[in-house]
Amino acid sequence: MQTVSDLPEIDFGAADYLAAPLPVLADYAARFKLGRSRRGVEIFDYDLCRDTILSRSFGTGHPRLMQVLGLPEGPALAYKRNSISFHDRGETRRRLRVPLTRLMGPEGSERFRTDIRHVVQQTFAEIPRDRPVDLITALCDRIPSRVYCYWIDAPMADAEFVSRTSHIVQQVHTRDPQTTQEVVAGFERLLDYVDDRVAAARKAPGDSLLSDLIRATDAGHLTEDELRNWIVKLAEANTDNSSHQIAIAVIELASRPDVWAALGADPSLVPQALREVMRYHPRSLSTSRETLEDVVLDGVLIPKGQAVFPNIGAAHWNPNFFPDPERFDIHRPDRPAHLNFGGGIFSCIGRYAVTIEIEEVITHMVTHHPGLRLTASAFSHSPMFTSVSRLEAVLDG
């Protein structure tokens, strides 16, 4: 039986990976199912990625991540320790998920669509139409942060703070201790902000998501700390990730005039086009797990406590599951599913709401701005994420 040290070594700092990670990941997957890097064991096979995401032999990788970052004792680390990210499979994680799953499942999220559409329309009304505009600032950051403000019944003027802070705290996934001080300060500001919003909602309850969660707390389904932690988590994970996923979708769709025109002619194609965007160029290039026991994967013994990374980008470009994976095809069958949102007890609770956000943005753009012209775009990539570093366009180009 092989051990981790026998696996081929992967260098995510290599120039070819940083320039075009998806073909590189596909090449790895064609040659081996498992590898190793400085961060841990790398999984490249679709089946193994999916099974690792779902398997009860693997837990969350966040405790180890906090160790790597060296988060000091204090409010930020206390929040992380008590949030759902630190809880492996079991009753606590299940209990924490239940209230959010009920409120943000497929039907629950659909009740947000009308308000999300209003946010999208309002945001586009503020964007100049006849000259190049930085869409990251003017659109991609504003939509999810404004939706978050709607969820917690906060003034829309708070959206800039929410967006900026979300970008800061998401630096935890860089695994770079040089970001630790800024991340800690960001979490502390976010925790104070959420405490204020919870207090305000208790004084004047309404029909917002936050008020619904307060009612779930009063009914005994969450503690006060768990309520606060969920509202922090929604800001931490949603706004940064959603901003980049919106930007990726705009670039991949608008850079293909035939696809853009097809969506404009038939906006009902937008959901399947977005599935292909998330398959072809996922925001999450990998996700993190940790073995809860000794595990054997493809004949390799992986010991308990080992950091493991299912490489979603490699899985999505596996020709055995997605024929001609380098071809962008909005008519591609919807099975097998993309792995962007995880699965099982580790699935992204906000996935339905996030999808609605992106659907509404793209639908508005293809119907109201069919002549949109990209003037500049650029991606940056890490082992964990695709990020959009530049996105400029003329709406009525």
Element (H, E) at 300: strand 300-302
Element (H, E) at 310: strand 307-310
Question: What is d(CA 276, CA 252) in angstroms, rounded to the nearest whole number?
Answer: 10
Which of the residue ranges 116-120, 214-218, 345-349 would you say has the lowest mean pLDDT? Answer: 345-349
Share of residues in the chain with pLDDT > 70 (%): 100
Question: What is d(CA 24, CA 45) in angstroms, rounded to the nearest whole number?
Answer: 14
Question: What is d(CA 239, CA 242) in angstroms, rounded to the nearest whole number?
Answer: 5
Contact 1, 300 (CB under 8 A): yes
- Residue 172 CB: number of other CB atoms within 10 A? 24
pTM here?
A: 0.94
**330 pLDDT higher than 70:** yes
Read off the pLDDT of residues 180-193 as tens digits, 9 standing for 90 and up: 999 999 999 999 99
pLDDT value of position 346: 79
Read off the pLDDT of residues 152-207 as tens digits, 9 standing for 90 and up: 999 999 999 999 999 899 888 878 899 999 999 999 999 999 999 999 999 999 99
Q: Could you give the C-alpha distances from 327 to 21, 110, 291, 344, in angstroms and in order?
A: 15, 31, 35, 29
- CA dihedral (53, 101, 274, 133) in degrees, to 10, reads -110
CATH of 2-394, one of 3.10.129.10, 1.10.630.10, 2.120.10.30, 3.30.9.10: 1.10.630.10
pLDDT value of position 226: 94
- C-alpha 111: how far from chain center: 21
Domain locations along the chain: 2-394
pLDDT value of position 89: 67
pLDDT value of position 82: 87
Closest C-alpha to 147, from 171, 121, 112: 112
Which of the four pLDDT bands, split at 50, 70 and 90, describes residue 68? confident
State the average pLDDT for the chain: 93
**397 pLDDT higher than 90:** no
381 bridge partner residues: 386
Read off the pLDDT of residues 72-109 as tens digits, 9 standing for 90 and up: 999 998 998 888 887 776 788 888 888 988 999 999 99
Contact 369, 386 (CB under 8 A): no
**359 pLDDT higher than 70:** yes
Give me 370's structure tokens.
């069919």
Which of the four pLDDT bands, split at 50, 70 and 90, describes residue 66? confident
Which of the four pLDDT bands, split at 50, 70 and 90, describes residue 328? very high
Report for 12-16, 58-62, 238-242, 345-349: range of highest mean pLDDT? 12-16
- Residue 162 CB: number of other CB atoms within 10 A? 26
Question: What is d(CA 253, CA 262) in angstroms, rounded to the nearest whole number?
Answer: 10
